[in-house]
Structure 1
């Protein structure tokens, strides 16, 4: 994970440098800078810096991973990575609710409010799907 954090550091440096080049390249004769592209590059750099900061702090409290070892073997990374559910209907319901919410600005804001209420149900169902039925703790 140390390599990934350094990657995000260099991406942040790149986007901050690119925002300076972009500001210089888009400057007009009356000293106005195109604000949208500059904002995008600065926010992208800040997001990369935020991820770098999180990963740098997290790696201090973790053991070394096999991918951090230069002499590491592929076999060292073997094992279970986590639990992934075989099937779930809840992503479908969340996508359907999002579609209903996005129809709100087109047909009326009341649809967005209805979609938000259904969204609470869908997200709770997805979060707690393994606490009901045969998976109950």
Structure 2
């Protein structure tokens, strides 16, 4: 995680000065003068989180400069190849965007469908009390 933390923390060194330069050159244009330094703050928060996370977990093969490809072999996580729940969430998102164009009343079924899709996706592999 050290390389990810460095990547985001170096973003601070780019976005903050660029935002200040932009503010000076644009004569204080409000959106960019505020927005670009805020992006620097956002990448700083993400980089800080990755730096804290890097201290808590063991070093990965990606963190070793002399690491070999075969050191990263094995399972990388659990992924569901046949899940329909992302489709339900995407449908809810598309209905929510349609609500902004066609009518705000569509936001209610979009929110309900989105909650159902997210709960189904979260508990897809649950066993025991929450199995379905």
CA RMSD of aligned residues (A): 1.7
Query: 1 CA distance for matches of 2:63 and 2:102?
Result: 52
Shift of 1:105: 2.7
Detail structure 1 runs of 4+ shifted over 3 Å in the superposition.
Answer: none
Aligned to 2:25: 25
Measured after TM superposition, the shift of residue 92 of structure 1 is 1.1
Q: Which residue of 1 aligns with 2:96?
A: 101
Q: Equivalent of 1:80, from 63, 75, 78?
A: 75
Which runs of no fewer than 5 residues in structure 2 stay unpaired? none
Question: Aligned to 2:125, what secondary structure does the other structure show?
Answer: helix
What TM-score comes out, normalization by structure 1 length?
A: 0.85
Distance 1:103 1:72 in 2: 48
1:27-76 per-residue CA deviation (whole Å, 9 max, x = no partner) reads 1xxxxx11111222122111110111101111111111112222222221
Instruction: Name the structure 1 match of 2:11.
Output: 11
Find out whether 1:38 has 2:33 as its counterpart: yes
- With normalisation by structure 2, the TM-score equals 0.88
Which residue, out of 54, 57, 60, partners 1:62? 57
The answer for unaligned runs of 5 or more in structure 1 is 28-32
